[in-house]
Structure 1
C-alpha cells in the first residue's frame, strides 16, 4: 500500500449531485483530497453513449474514473444512499488500490414506503432538471429490483477492505435498522449512528459526520504491514 493519503471518492444518491458533498469537503480539505463527481446523467455530467443505467455499469464507470483520478494513489469510496450501491459494485474492480469503503444512509434498497413515495414524487419534479431523465429513472428502477437488492448482501460479504456504515437516527428513508442489517454481512465493519441526523448528513450535519469519518479514515490510510 502506498504511503500517500487516499483520494476520497464521493458518490451521491438518486436525483442528487456532487455539490451536495461540499459542506463536508470543506471540513476535510486540505488534509484529504476529495473528488465529488456528478454521476453520469446527473447534474452537469453527460451519460456516455452506451452506458446503461444499471448498478454494474455505473460501478464500472466509477471504478475506472476513480482509478484514473487517483493516478496510483490509494482510494476510499464513499457512497450515499443509492450511491452506496454504486460504490459496492465499483469496489470489486479496484483491487489493492482500494483501502476502504464508506456507506452513508445505504441499506441495500430497503426503503420506508411513505417517505420513499414522497421522495419519488419530488423526484418526478427534480428529474426535469436532470441532464438525463432516462438515466435517473432507470438507475432507480434497476437498483430496486428484487434481484439487485437480494444480490447486495453477497457483494458486501466479499468486501476485502474495512467498511464504515453511517446512519442518521432520524433518517426516514433508510432507517438505521436496515443499515445495520446490510453492514452485518461485511467481514470487517463499523456502524455509527449520527444522533438527530436525517438522510442528508453531509449537508445538514457535516461537523458530526466529519468527526465520525476522519478517525476511521486515518486508520485505514495507515500503511499496513
Structure 2
C-alpha cells in the first residue's frame, strides 16, 4: 500500500498519560483555521493540526475516497488521541473512529453529521442541485466558488464579519487544489456513516450551531442519540463554525471533554 504523508502542524507538549488532540478542518480550508482554538488550549496539550489531502500544505497529495483519507491521517498519529473534526473533517474523524477504534480516545464533532448530503431518507445537508452547482463552479473559478460556499454556510453567527474575514483569509493564504476540492466534494456527496455509529466505542462530544443548515441541529441530535456514549451541545448564536464564533466557550468545553477522556483511560 502506498504511504501518503500529510502536512501536520504540531504544538504543545505531551502530558504524562494524557491523550493528544488531532484536529481535521473542513472543505476548502486548512488546519490554519484552528489557530484561535489551539491558542486557547492548555500548553500541556499536544495538538496535531493536519492538512487534508489537496488542502493547505498537503496540496501535493492527490488521493481519493473517505477510507484513503482516513488511512492518511491515521498514519500521521502514533498514539491513541482525541480526534476533532469539523464539517468534512468530521466525516473523516468519524470514519477513523469506526475503522480504527483503538486509535481513538475520544471523538469531537463540530458542525458535522454522518451524512452531509440529502438522500431519500435523510433530509438534512446539501441538496443534489447544490452539490452539482458547486461542482460546476469549481471548473470555472474554484476560489470564488469555495468563498461563496463558506459565506453561505457561515452567515448568521454571532461572530459576524470578523469570522468570515478570517476564513476567507485562510482560503487565500493556503488555497486548496482543484483535485483536492473535487475529492472532498465527492466524499461530501457520497459518504453515509449512519449505519456504523452504534459501533463507535469511544466517548463523543458533539457541538452544533442553532443557525447551521448544513450540519442541521436536528441531524446532530439524531447522531448523538445513535451513538453509545455521546454528549451534545447546540450553541444558540452559532452557525457552521461554533469553534470560531464562540471560541472561548468551545475551548473550555473541549478541555473538559479531554479531561474526561483522560480519566477513562
- Fold conserved between structures, TM > 0.5: yes
Aligned to 1:11: 24
Unaligned runs of 5+ in 2: 1-14, 117-123, 147-170
Residues 57 and 164 of structure 1: CA distance in aligned 2, closer, same or farther (over 3 Å): same
Aligned to 1:20: 33
Please give the secondary structure, in 2, of the residue aligned with 1:101: strand
Please state how far the C-alpha of 1:64 moved relative to its aligned partner. 1.2
TM-score, length of structure 2 as denominator length: 0.71
Counterpart selection for 1:96 from 96, 102, 117: 102
Q: Is the 8 A contact 1:80 1:104 kept in 2?
A: yes
Is 1:137 paired with 2:175?
A: no
Unaligned runs of 5+ in 1: none
Size of the aligned set, in residue pairs, is 210
Counterpart selection for 1:160 from 188, 194, 201: 201
Measure the CA separation in 2 of the matches of 1:38 and 1:62.
9
CA-atom RMSD in angstroms: 2.6
Measure the CA separation in 2 of the matches of 1:34 and 1:186.
25
TM-score, length of structure 1 as denominator length: 0.83
Aligned to 1:183: 224
Q: Is the 8 A contact 1:162 1:189 kept in 2?
A: yes
Is 1:38 paired with 2:38?
A: no
Aligned to 2:64: 53
Please state how far the C-alpha of 1:202 moved relative to its aligned partner. 2.1
**Aligned ranges 1:68-147 → 2 under 5 Å:** 72=79, 74-107=80-113, 108-109=115-116, 110-111=124-125, 113=127, 120=134, 124-126=142-144, 130-145=175-190
Please state how far the C-alpha of 1:142 moved relative to its aligned partner. 3.2
Is 1:217 paired with 2:264?
A: no
